[in-house]
Amino acid sequence: MLRISSDDRMSRRDAFLLAAAGVSASSLTGWLPILAASDAEPKAKPRAKACIVLWMDGGPPHTDTFDMKPDVPECGIYKSTSTDVPGIQITELLPKFAGQMKHAAIVRGMSTIENEHLRARVHLRTGYRSGQGGLTYPSMGSIASEAIGVPDFPIPSYVAISDVRDRSHGPGFLGPRHQPLFVHDPLKGVQNLKAMVAGPTVEGRLGLLDELEKGFAGEYQVPLSHAHGSVYDRAVQLMRTEKAKAFNLSLEPMKTRAAYGETTFGQGCLLARRLVETGVKYVEVGLGGWDTHFENNEAVKKLCLTLDQSMTALVTDLQTRGLLDDTLVIWMGEFGRTPTFKNKGRDHYAKAWSTVFMGGGVKGGQVIGRTDKTGATVAERPVSTADFFATVCELLGIDYEKERDTPGGRPLPRVEKNGRPVRELFA
Amino acid sequence: MRCICRAGIALLFVAFAASTCAVSAADPNPDAASITRLIDDVIQKRLDAEKIPTSPTTTDAEFLRRVSLDVAGVIPSPDWVTAFLDSKEPDKRAKYIDELLASPEYARRMTDIWKALLIPNSAASARQKHEPMVQWLEKAFASNKRLDALAREVLTAEGLQDENGAVTFYLTHETLDEITDRVARVFLGVQIQCAQCHKHPFGDWTQAEYWGMAAFFTKVKSVYVKTGNVQRYGAKEDSAPKSKPLLMVPASLKAVPPTFLRGDRPKLSTDAPNLPALADWIASPKNPYFARAGVNRVWHHFFGRALVSPVDDMTEANEASHPELLASLAREFSANGFDLKHLIRGICNSKAYQRTSKPTGSNATDKMLLSHMAVKVMTPFQLNDSLEAVFALAKNDKTPPSTDASRKTKAGERSRFATFFMGEADPDPTELQAGIPQALYMMNSGHHYSIAKAANETVIRKKTPERVVETLFLATLTRLPTDKEAKAMLAHIAKATDKRSAYQDVLWALVNSTEFLSNH
């Protein structure tokens, strides 16, 4: 094993990946079943087997969605509406979803610390702060892939359906094995799955490639070899599996496709359901455009129209298929927005905002926490980023206190030490 | 790529003398030896102090591949590799560097880099034409426009887009904060965006400094001209209060008069433009940020790791790997009038740049002190152009010459390819951005036919299996196969019933390898 010098001449991450490359050099490009290290997990009993995150990129305004303040004019122009759960009100812009409140728990006390998009995305996707301790942290999807992913499952355990892609999605120090598979357009799915030559020829080609890879990896000793090998390994697995048809939305009845909405987000939600059904553990579906510094009201109205149809379709479809009890669905952004307006826009706001939990392991039909009467601060049951991550981990049966060796050799818990699950959420 | 790929050999060796003269004419000071010395002295001293051994100098083949990719953005053709390896000229490396710097491919490579820095990758930007900026940048880099002049012309760009491509900079930005962040990152090497809402958590920028910088851009207005059915767009500074600003003002705006970062406030009249003053301050030899940011950016592209990393976050908390080198190079860069070619020439001739990337046992863990070169990953543009260079093997007497239409198609394909392979913005040059979709594309896409044609044509031209395999290795990896590799490839061909298909397999494996994808 490689020793890491204490003066950090090599980035810790590189050293770690290099070590990983060395360890697995025999199956570098492999085309063999991957001998991924499988920990003795899970310790915690999983309440849900898979997770779908509906990521509202840009930061949705809580006082226009799930934390309405109808008596405070500055908080927004939209009215609230009753739901199928007596006493719980949400925005009038989500009338369909109002009928599904029995499955949903609103956390109104999110209180986090990053107010800028990139930093907040890292914070709310990884649970740690960008740049903290000189490490690149794994996203929740990568953590799920590592902890509950089935090592030789032919589809990546973590799929991100999104047209925005940045570092916060990545596997960080967990390495390329736990990278998400990005799907930019759900209608296209994953393309180029079929080889242009016959099966035996593919085998021959991969054999030649393996020959070349061994030489380069030995001489240059770079993490790149390992990363490339891992990506190709997984691509070849995907070419070979029948399960890849999960990416093909044209196999769905037209009626179902229409129910989810003819939008990228809607079709992304449908794809998420197909993937979870087939055994994928973690799917993120992005709906962008929530950065409403300008013309907040019009933008939110339009976005909610898309959201209402697709999120409602997803929850009802999962339920009809008996998948909802095993599938955790989370609605969230990287932060909320100011409960007051400047001109016609709302700014970034991390101090008080909302997330919604549905499905697997969640006791629906409840609201947890409360903001003050103007929606500006959390008055009751604040939930920090670490608490949020501990909650997601616990629901998925992932031991959130488990420490892993980071590239510098320093053990680090999956979730920051002070994180505690929001147990009131659990069914 | 025209001159580099096929006709390269003639151009390179016959025209060596002539081209060196041409370079001298365009550049009064081609001797970048002082920069080279500066780099090697500082780096060696530090390695000695830390008792880290250096890896040996690159072989000619390694050097050729690296410098071609770094300066011209494309791998060399097999003929060219052979000619370079055979040449006995003692200063062939230095001459080759000059040759590359004078090539049109240099301007294209720099344009690829700077277009990505100056134009946001956003939905709003995608609705605008980018081509005028591409052409403007290519012209700028071809004439070796100094970086201060480039910055000044971009920052003060006005007029119609089809008359001044630089104006694309303003047209592709949507908001005031977006442009403020970009100018700070690209021209000053600092990230101040967090200060938009509150004091920066790590850097020490204040909100007043942030909005002071942003205030310079508030007079940029859109220009719209309609003649008949032709609509033309542009930008211009205009202080008339009723004219609509081009850049949207975020709600978090704090009203602060135009102020340079760190506090100085220029005397500006309300009805005069702001941006000339900002451009003068930014692109001044006295600006403490500009030269450092420029040097750090170039270093980042050539060494795969900036002297201060991340490349655009040069705060005091973020220490340089070689602080004194950064300071001296910034001084030199500024003293030489922000001449990019001069700086690049100095870097490429250094021992540090010309060291192999193969570690020598005990220096393997060093990633910062330059005991050996970093292995970079080809950028999407480098990958596209290098694949094109490989597929040029298929060209023969019957290949029709390229036309305007075919060049346009190629440019479109190039841009689509790059978009598909593009990872995160401003990525770490040593990190693989490609994921499963890109690997599937490389393995199974329409490249199939290009690979087949290139392999088939090589077989016709080179006759023996040994020579074909050698040519395929030279064309892709810029080196001959090792004995072991040659044996494996030839065995594969020998046992195949369909020989043509077997050669295609070899080329397929080569272009899908980590080594092909890497700039080592």
Q: Mean pLDDT throughout B304-319?
A: 88
Q: Report residue A388 as tokens.
A: 């949020």
Nearest CA in chain A to B422: A165
pLDDT of B423: 78
Nearest CA in chain A to B357: A220
ipTM (interface predicted TM): 0.90
Residue among B436, B447, B478, B492 with most chain A CBs within 10 A, to mutate: B436
Q: Kindly indicate the confidence band of residue B371, based on its pLDDT and cuts at 50, 70 and 90.
A: very high
pLDDT of B476: 98
Q: Give the distance from residue B220's alpha carbon to the nearest chain A alpha carbon, in angstroms.
A: 19
Q: Across-strand partners of A288?
A: A57
- B298 has a pLDDT exceeding 70: yes
Per-residue DSSP letter, A152: T
Angle at B416 between CA B412 and CA B421, to 5 degrees: 150
Q: Which of A219, A234, A342 lies at the smallest CB-CB distance from B358?
A: A219
Q: Report residue A286 as tokens.
A: 């992005």
Nearest CA in chain A to B432: A224
Task: Name, in order, each residue with C-beta under 8 angstroms of B328's C-beta and a sequence gap of 6 or more.
Answer: B38, B42
Asked if A347 lies within 8 A of B368 by C-beta distance, the reply is no
Q: Give the distance from residue B489's alpha carbon to the nearest chain A alpha carbon, in angstroms.
A: 7
Picking from A166-175, A231-240, B248-257, B286-295, which range would have the lowest pLDDT averaged per residue? B248-257
pLDDT per residue over B108-140, tens digit each?
A: 999 999 999 999 987 788 889 999 999 999 999
Residues of A in contact with B482 (CB under 8 A): 215
- B270 has a pLDDT exceeding 90: no
Between A and B, how many residue pairs show a Cβ–Cβ distance under 8 A? 183
pLDDT per residue over B375-419, tens digit each?
A: 999 999 999 999 999 999 999 888 888 899 998 889 889 999 998
Cβ atoms of B32 and B346 within 8 Å: the answer is yes
Residue among A145, A178, A228 with most chain B CBs within 10 A, to mutate: A228
Q: In Å, how far are B71, B105, B407 from B137, measured between CA atoms?
A: 16, 13, 19
Task: Give the phi and the psi of residue B518 in degrees, each rounded to 5.
Answer: -105, 150
pLDDT of A43: 56
Q: Where are the alpha helices (DSSP H) in A114-180?
A: 117-126, 140-148
- Owner of token pair 């072991």: B484
What share of chain B in percent tops pLDDT 70? 93
Which regions of chain A are under pLDDT 70? 1-44
Asked if B197 lies within 8 A of A115 by C-beta distance, the reply is yes
Nearest CA in chain B to A201: B505
- B477 has a pLDDT exceeding 60: yes
- B4 has a pLDDT exceeding 80: no
Task: Give the phi and the psi of residue B59 in degrees, each rounded to 5.
Answer: -70, 165
CA distance linking residue B341 with residue B65, whole number of Å: 19
pLDDT of B24: 40
Cβ atoms of A421 and A356 within 8 Å: the answer is no
Overall residue count recorded for chain B in this entry: 520
- Residue-averaged pLDDT of chain B: 90
Nearest CA in chain A to B429: A224
pLDDT of B123: 75
Asked if A197 lies within 8 A of B368 by C-beta distance, the reply is no
Residue among A167, A202, A224, A340 with most chain B CBs within 10 A, to mutate: A224
β-pairing verdict for A327-333 and A353-359? antiparallel
Q: Mean pLDDT throughout B27-48?
A: 86
pLDDT of A27: 36
Angle of helix A385-395 versus helix A117-126 axis, rounded to 10:
40
CA distance linking residue B260 with residue B278, whole number of Å: 7
Asked if B448 lies within 8 A of A219 by C-beta distance, the reply is no
CA nearest A315: which of A17, A96, A49, A63?
Answer: A96
Task: Name, in order, each residue with C-beta under 8 angstroms of A171's C-beta and a sequence gap of 6 or more.
Answer: A138, A139, A142, A145, A177, A178, A179, A180
Q: Which of B375, B434, B441 lies at the smallest CB-CB distance from A222?
A: B375
CA distance linking residue B462 with residue B30, whole number of Å: 40
Cβ atoms of B381 and B414 within 8 Å: the answer is yes
CA distance linking residue A338 with residue A317, whole number of Å: 34
pLDDT of A28: 36
**Edge-to-edge strand ranges of the sheet holding A158-161:** A181-183, A158-161, A282-288, A50-57, A327-333, A353-359, A104-110, A366-368
H/E segment holding residue B112 = helix B104-118
Asked if A208 lies within 8 A of B423 by C-beta distance, the reply is no
Residues of A in contact with B365 (CB under 8 A): 2-5, 9-10, 15
Task: Name, in order, each residue with C-beta under 8 angstroms of A392's C-beta and a sequence gap of 6 or more.
Answer: A51, A140, A328, A330
Asked if B444 lies within 8 A of A213 by C-beta distance, the reply is no
Asked if A192 lies within 8 A of B368 by C-beta distance, the reply is no
Asked if A115 lies within 8 A of B194 by C-beta distance, the reply is yes
pLDDT of A35: 36
pLDDT of A305: 98
Asked if A224 lies within 8 A of B375 by C-beta distance, the reply is yes
Q: Give the distance from residue B383's alpha carbon to the nearest chain A alpha carbon, in angstroms.
A: 15
Q: Give the distance from residue A223's alpha carbon to the nearest chain B alpha carbon, in angstroms.
A: 9
Q: Which of B423, B431, B509 lies at the smallest CB-CB distance from A209?
A: B509
3-state helix, strand, coil in chain A (%, to 5): 40, 15, 45
Q: Give the distance from residue A84's alpha carbon to the nearest chain B alpha carbon, in angstroms.
A: 36
Task: Give the phi and the psi of residue A313 in degrees, each rounded to 5.
Answer: -60, -40
Angle at B98 between CA B97 and CA B103, to 5 degrees: 100
Assessment of whether the complete model's pTM goes beyond 0.90: no
Q: Report residue B99 as tokens.
A: 């040759």
- B437 has a pLDDT exceeding 60: yes
Q: What would you report as the CA-atom Rg of chain A, rounded to the nearest whole angstrom?
A: 22
Task: Name, in order, each residue with C-beta under 8 angstroms of A16's C-beta and a sequence gap of 6 or more.
Answer: A173, A175, A406, A407
